[in-house]
Chains A and B, each alone.
Chain A
Amino acid sequence: MAHGFFYLAFIYLVAAVISVPVAKRLGLGSVLGYLFAGVIIGPFMLGLVGQEVGDVMHFAEFGVVMMLFLIGLELKPSRLWRLRGPILGLGGLQVLLTTFALTGIALYFGLEWKMALAIGMSLALSSTAIVLQSLNEKGLLKTSAGQSSFSVLLFQDIAVIPMLALLPLLAAPGATPAIATDNVLAGLPGWQQTLVVLLIVGAIILGGRFLTRPVFRFIAATRLREIFTAAALLIVIGITLLMQSIGLSPALGTFVAGVVLAESEYRHELEADIEPFKGLLLGVFFISVGASIDFQLLIDNPGLIAALVGGLVAVKLMILLILGRLFSMSLSDNLLFSLALAQGGEFAFVLLAFAAGASVLPTSLTNPLVVAVALSMLVTPLLLLFHERLLSPMMRKHRERREPDAIDEDNPVIIVGYGRFGQIVGRLLKAQGFSITLLDHDSSQIELVRKFGNKVFYGDAARLDLLISAGAAEARLLVLAIDDRNKVLEIAALAREHFPNLTILARAFDRSHVYKLMTVGVEHIYRETFRSALEMGTDALQHLGYRAHQAHRLAAAFRRHDEATLRELYPHWGDEKKYVFHSHQRAEDLVRLLQSEERRTHPKDHAWAIDQLREDSRD
């Protein structure tokens, strides 16, 4: 079935527009939505798209290149440099060990060593597209598990290059590779190839650093947005071509370019321009992966395919878990990291096609493998879902079961929660020489702050015995600084009941949380973002031309009014009608208050009512 461009575009877009929102609503994430959309429109179900799926996938892979450019943009060189350990160590070991293990298994099943090695290499790689998109969507990319996953994927991108070089060597003599490499360097001796590669990478770095700024400034001066977009696309496509011509991974090249541009003032503009292209192309890529799954093969050999998928995921998972352990990740980080990377990737399609073309592997072998890889890609979002819904909550429970540390100190202050919030409180008090008992129930946080020389005890402060052993009976202050609203309430209620003399200072999330804390009997309540938002407002006034002191007085009046209102409206909390009515009234009061405050702010003009004085003196 040959279809026109618009027909294909229509099918892909309809599939995406329907299935992705549904998948999101069901909590499955966009990646699964795209994949299922592909399955549905694919030859096996509706048959709306046909053989061109392979070409489409090849084209859409460009989305991965764009994604790495975007990731590069968010990664400053200094941060990348800090990741060098995980990239080389973790990534290197993952590729090596997985290749060995898979090769060994293939050998065990009686394959020739060349074939076994080709399979091992192809399957050792994971899917950058699936993993990064899924982690990013769940907001996990910046976590330590996310960063580890990213490091491994980056190394895999590098590892593809020698793999592609190695595959033809594994070919049976006489066979010519079907995929012609358009590598212009092929004719050069090894050292010259290396030199040219280094020169080109150097050119990208230098060009990105020194050339882009004047060029972008020149383009931006035209004030034509689409030209800027064109320039951004030009960078990505240009680097892709350059990289392909010297046989390097385009994704790697654009990633380097992204890192170089991460500190450019045009970074956000570039991000915004490339982002929609990347999103659409990745979507098309996922759809085509879904559509390319040969379900006929699955139906004909369900046992074989299931064993391949299960085996592949299991072996990769095991090796990743061991590596995570070796690199001393916490159990929960390690589980996420391992589940995320336990699949075959889009490189496997390329490498397997290449191997088939080079007659390294017969298609009777590569076809089931391709299906297995595609299915393993489908399995990954499901595994991540399983992690999010079952494993992660279980881990939390499991952590709660960890025996709390024995606490051997009697300090006047107990701080519960030593993260972003509690640390500020703690550091201020410590600087004044107070000794503090610190409690937290996040072990990775504890490890982190222990590195800075803080002694933090592990434990769930909602347990009475733990509060007692933390010295709550003798302490003067209990600072509740955790970000778990219900936990704050729980601990506050418990402490109020059992230690009536203890002063409680509680971090509150919002107004309703404030009221709940007031109901429990906490007197000192701090809305976590109120003061910093107010400070921002004060600065905003200054940027609008107010004098600093005037802005500060207005903000202070605002704060006093807001805090008084908060308490005044407490009796109406729960009665929405009354609450809204009174808040409107108080909002009007505020306007009047700020007006009178403004009158007072400037002693010279207002408090001293110069005009009045002048009139009086005329009398």
Chain B
Amino acid sequence: MSNSSASVLILFAHPALEKSRVNRALMEAVRDLDGVTFHDLYQQYPDFHIDVDREQSLLRQHRSVVFQHPLYWYSCPALVKEWVDLVLEYGFAYGEGGDVLDGKHWLSAISTAGTLRAYCEKGSNQYTIREFLRPFEQSALLCNMRWLPPYVVHNSQQISDPELDRAAENYRRLIERLRDRPDVSVPAGQHSYINKWLEQEPAGGN
């Protein structure tokens, strides 16, 4: 599964994939791409015993890191937090000598049942997805990584099949773009979601 020439590492986390529709579709869209390592955390570490050495060597081998997971309680599933706690060590990811992640992309690919309208000041969730993802954004910053606006699929419980197909297709294009253009930069301030940028950038364009 780990591919030395791969450039995108997808850290996928879903504790109940058997019930998932959106994440399954997204997963299937990117899992077999060349140059992409799809790393299913809940499948690898059902007991939460993360092999830190192995995870760190995976990080070394890739230029972009994608965290793909559903939004649980406005954050990530527990195993992703455990992963961050243990793998992003002092001296590896940050602090003295902690330069391994310098310049690598950090992309969060999120699915959520809430609609875009729910995630705003007037909405039921009061804050935007971007605001909820601040801890991740700051973590990327601490590790000297390049934070990208998140890829978000809203309304995951009711999304129609054609819409889901389009979301999966866009996700595949995004991952391919990251793979083929490792120095792509999307100013985080410019777009709240990377979905927008994807729509503006024509396929294959530079």
Contact = CB atoms under 8 A, between A and B. Distances in A.
Nearest to A601: B86
Contacts of B95: 609, 612-613, 616
A607 interface: yes
A612 B96 CA distance: 9
A348 B47 CA distance: 65
The main secondary structure of chain A at its interface with chain B is: helix
Identify whether the interface residues of B are mostly helix, strand, loop, or mixed: loop
Contacts of A607: 85-86, 89-90
Given A613-B95, A616-B95, A616-B96, A608 B52 contact: no
Given A609-B95, A616-B95, A553 B49 contact: yes
B184 to A, nearest CB: 32
Contacts of B89: 600, 607, 609
Given A607-B86, A612-B96, A613-B95, A600 B52 contact: yes
A609 B91 contact: yes
A616 B90 CA distance: 11
Nearest to B54: A560
A603 B90 contact: no
A613 B98 CA distance: 12
Interface residues of B, number: 11
Contacts of A560: 49, 51
Contacts of A235: none
Interface size, A (range): 10 to 19
Nearest to A608: B90
A298 to B, nearest CB: 70
B43 to A, nearest CB: 16
B125 to A, nearest CB: 28
Interface in A517-570: 552-553, 556-557, 560
A608 B95 CA distance: 10
B86 A603 contact: yes
A556 B47 contact: yes
Contacts of A616: 95-96
A51 B92 CA distance: 88
Contacts of B96: 612, 616
A556 B49 contact: yes
Contacts of A600: 52, 86, 89
Nearest to B47: A556
Contact of B91 (A552, A553, A557, A612): A612
Contacts of A557: 49
Contacts of B51: 560
A603 B95 CA distance: 15
B97 to A, nearest CB: 10
Interface string A602-619: 010001110011001000
Nearest to B52: A600
B49 A609 contact: no
Interface string B8-26: 0000000000000000000
Nearest to B49: A556
A616 B96 CA distance: 8
A35 to B, nearest CB: 57
Interface string A390-415: 00000000000000000000000000
Interface of B: 47, 49, 51-52, 85-86, 89-91, 95-96
20 contacts: A552-B49, A556-B47, A556-B49, A557-B49, A560-B49, A560-B51, A600-B52, A600-B89, A603-B85, A603-B86, A607-B85, A608-B90, A609-B89, A609-B91, A609-B95, A612-B90, A612-B91, A612-B95, A613-B95, A616-B96
Interface of A: 552-553, 556-557, 560, 600, 603, 607-609, 612-613, 616
Q: Which 6 A-B pairs have the closest CB atoms?
A: A556-B49, A609-B90, A603-B85, A612-B90, A607-B89, A607-B86
Given A608-B90, A612-B91, A616-B95, 11 more contacts: A553-B49, A556-B47, A560-B51, A600-B52, A600-B89, A603-B86, A607-B85, A609-B89, A609-B90, A612-B95, A613-B95
